[in-house]
Structure 1
Amino acid sequence: MAAAQGSAYATQSHTPASLRELASYLELALDAGQAVFVMRYGESERLVYIGNPEGSLDELSGSGTVAASLADEMLMLTQPGVNRITADGQTYRFKRTHRYIGDCQAVVFAPT
C-alpha cells in the first residue's frame, strides 16, 4: 500500500474510509473515462461530480455528496500532483489538481 511521498496515508496499515470513498468515485470516473470533481457545498458536505477535467459545470454529471470531514481527510491524505492509493486490494493512480468552475473552486482527481 503506497501513497505519494510525504502523505500521512503512506504510514497507515489500513485504508481510511475517506480513501475508500475516493476509490469508489475513481472507479466511476475510470468507467466513464473522466475525472472526479469535489466541490464545496455548505458547511457539512461536498458535491461530487464526474466529468471532463477541462469541461464546464454544465457538462459534469452529479454523482452524489460526501461529508465535509471525509473530503477534508481526502485532501489531508493526498497531495497535489500524482498520487497512488490502495483500497480493498485495488491500486489507483491519479493526479490531484485544483481549478475554478465558474465561481467555485473544485478539487479534481483525474485517473492516470
Structure 2
Amino acid sequence: MANRAKEAKVTDDHNLAGDRAEQVPESLQTLAAYLERSLDAATSVVMMRHTTEVCTVYLGDPEGSREDLKQIGAISASLANGVLESTSSGVNLMQIRGQAYRFARSFTQVDGMAAVVFSTE
C-alpha cells in the first residue's frame, strides 16, 4: 500500500484551518487512535519499549506501577520512532483527519523502565 494512502493532515497551532497542511506518516494516525482512547478513559497513553523491535502501549497513570497500567496494544519500534519523530517534547497541537489534538509529550520511568507519556489537555 502506498504511503500516501496512510497519511493524515497535520497543522501547527498557527494554521488550524489547514491551509498549508502537510502530509504526515501513519505513525500520527496511530497516535491519534491511542489519544482518542485516552480521552475516553481520561488518562494518559504510555509507550514503553520492552524489546528492540516492539513498543508496548498502555493507558493509565505513569506515576503508578506498571501493573496499574492497562496494556492496549503493541507497535513496531519503527512506528514508535515515527511517533517520536513527528512529535516533540512539551505541548503539541495537531490536526489529523480534521480532528484537533492537543497533548503534552513527556518522559518518565515506570518501575525503573523508560517511558514516553502522551497526556491530553
Equivalent position to 2:45, from 36, 41, 47: 36
Contact 2:11–2:22 under 8 Å retained in 1: no
Q: Which amino acid aligns with 2:27?
A: S
Q: Which amino acid aligns with 2:74?
A: T
Q: What's the counterpart of residue 4 of structure 2?
A: none
The alignment's TM-score, normalised by the length of structure 1, stands at: 0.87
Q: Which contiguous aligned blocks of 4+ residues in structure 1 show a shift greater than 3 angstroms? A: none
Contact 1:53–1:110 under 8 Å retained in 2: no
Residues 52-91 of structure 1: matches in 2 within 5 Å?
52-91=61-100
- Is the counterpart of residue 94 in structure 1 residue 82 in structure 2? no
How far apart are the structure 2 equivalents of 1:43 and 1:12? 33
Q: Which amino acid aligns with 2:34?
A: Y
Q: Which amino acid aligns with 2:43?
A: Q
Q: Which amino acid aligns with 2:84?
A: L
Q: What's the counterpart of residue 111 of structure 1?
A: 120
Contact 1:45–1:68 under 8 Å retained in 2: yes
Task: Tell me how many residue pairs correspond in the alignment.
Answer: 107
How far apart are the structure 1 equivalents of 2:52 and 2:76? 9
Instruction: Percent identity, please.
Output: 39
Q: What's the counterpart of residue 8 of structure 1?
A: none
Q: Aligned in 2, Cα 1:38/1:4: closer, same or farther, shift over 3 Å? A: farther
How far apart are the structure 2 equivalents of 1:32 and 1:90? 18
Q: Which amino acid aligns with 1:94?
A: F
Q: Which amino acid aligns with 2:49?
A: R
Q: Which amino acid aligns with 1:24?
A: A
Q: Which amino acid aligns with 1:42?
A: T
Q: Which amino acid aligns with 1:13?
A: E
How far apart are the structure 1 equivalents of 2:11 and 2:64? 30
How far apart are the structure 1 equivalents of 2:36 and 2:64? 19
CA RMSD of aligned residues (A): 1.8
How many Å apart are 1:91 and its aligned residue?
0.9
Greater relative contact order (CA < 8 Å, ≥ 6 in sequence): 1
